[in-house]
Amino acid sequence: MAAFSVDGTCDPAFAPVRDVLAAQLADGRQLGAAVAVRVGDREVVDLWGGHADPDRAKPWLADTVVNIWSTTKGVVALAFHMLVDRGLLDPDAPVRKYWPEFANDSVLVRHLLSHRAGLAAFREPTTAEELADWNLMITRLADTRPWWEPGTASGYHALTYGFLVGELIHRVTGSSVRDFVHREVAERTAADFRIGLSPADNGRAATLVQPPPADPAAFQAMFAQLNPVALAVLTNPVVGPDQGNSAYWRAAQIPAANGHATARAVATLYGAFASGGVAGGQRLLGAAQVERAREGQGSGVDLVIGDAGLGGRETELGLGLWLSGADGHYGPNPRAVGHDGFGGSFGLADPEAGLAIGHVMNLMGNVIADDPRKMELIAAVYSCL
């Protein structure tokens, strides 16, 4: 295999990470990508390579940003935990305490963070364009009849999570979740992360690409056997690169799915969960709150991801982040936490190792979780510790 050039910096002890990224770019499994690794307060890897567009005319640069889909959720969870630390939110309170219009008394705040609220999907037909209408989305969700009894199971709230948690942030701060995260999280830590892009940043945004599934028949068969909750989550509405590359999506506030970032920024912000609440040299939350974020909320087969992507394997969520667990979704430490983004991006935090990883890319894979490129990069990082 021909060598493929990657740019950036890499501590010699972490050369295997460079080798893995270069190999993924060389064999076509990546179009353009970046990976960053922090150990304690040191940035030991900050690498990027490939192209930001499908025509391979635009190189991936140090400041290239890309839509990181659900990797955004970990940053929203960080903002939530900052507000718990400030005494403004209580995970054990009913959602109605902060959001009086919310119809269901049995939904607790922690249920929103752990995808156990039963509000994983809209019941009304919803278009992708309507996701940009904040008031419409929160009004619908406030009145939605839960798909299951809140608190009894997890079912991945792929798009609704950001509106539900984001509205709580809005109710207790008076700021939109986008503005709060920008002001209190990204600017304080100098992290190149935004929920939605400003017009000035569009020129450095990578174009998302998703190839057809390798086995279309198997893909169709998987959809045919989905339970009603998973089917609603994945199809009402359908979102993908066409939406992610559109002007309305890039400009919108969709805090479950339209964060735009560099890998460096993802590692910095997930690093708050790896370094006792400190990111970018700034204390964002206390060490005790980091531990609270890692409290398991009950293991089981997730009604969405377990059915559609993990073959019935059990998983467990903390408050806003997935636990690595026995299957090692985020490395060998079962207490490590992280979050995948649709197509292959991810953020990881391992407090025991003081480790944070961020990976972003624009060639989207066709698996819902544990993209093989992710697992290779994580294995390479841990081999260097």
- Mean pLDDT, each 10-residue run in order, the chain (385 residues): 78 98 97 98 98 97 98 98 98 98 96 98 98 98 97 97 98 98 98 95 96 80 86 95 97 98 98 98 97 96 83 91 97 98 97 98 91 98 98
Residues forming beta bridges with residue 4, ordered by sequence position? none
Domain membership flag for residue 2: no
Does residue 282 lie within any of the structural domains? yes
Read off the tokens for 265. Answer: 């920024």
Q: Which two tokens stand for residue 304?
A: 């969405």
319 part of a folded domain:
yes
Measured between alpha carbons, how far is 34 from 51 in angstroms, rounded to an integer? 11
Q: Are 161 and 115 in contact (CB under 8 A)?
A: yes
Provide the b/e sequence for 310-332 (b: ≥16 CB within 10 Å): beebebbbbbbbbbbbeebbbbe
Measured at the CA of 328, the angle between CA 325 and CA 329, to 5 degrees, comes to 90
Q: How much is the pLDDT for 285?
A: 97
How far is it, in rounded angstroms, from Cα 34 to Cα 68? Answer: 12
Locus of tokens 């970032």: 261
* Residue 347 counted as domain residue: yes
The amino acid at 196: G
Neighbours of 366 (CB within 10 A): 14
Report yes or no on 199 lying in a domain.
yes
Burial environment of residue 63 by CB neighbours within 10 A (0 to 12, 13 to 18, 19 or more): exposed
**CB neighbour class for 52 (10 Å; exposed up to 12, middle 13-18, buried from 19):** buried
Containing structural domain, residue 158: 7-383
Residues catalogued as catalytic: 70
Whether residue 243 lies inside any domain: the answer is: yes
Q: What is the pLDDT of residue 33?
A: 98
Q: Has residue 329 been placed in a domain?
A: yes
Q: Specify the number of domains making up the chain.
A: 1
| Structure tokens, 30 | 């990546």
pLDDT (0 to 100) of residue 271? 98
pLDDT score, position 309? 67
At residue 1, the pLDDT reads 40
pLDDT at 65: 98
Q: Are strands 32-39 and 355-361 parallel, antiparallel or unpaired?
A: antiparallel
pTM exceeds 0.85, yes or no: yes
pLDDT at 214: 75
Could you give the C-alpha distances from 334 to 127, 270, 308, in angstroms and in order?
A: 38, 17, 23
Distance CA(239)–CA(165), nearest Å, equals 20
pLDDT at 218: 77
Residue type for 129, please?
E
Does residue 1 lie in a domain region? no
Query: Can you say whether the dihedral through the CA atoms of 76, 265, 49, 24 is positive or negative?
Result: negative
Decide: 14 and 44 in contact? Cβ < 8 Å: yes
CATH number at residue 179: 3.40.710.10
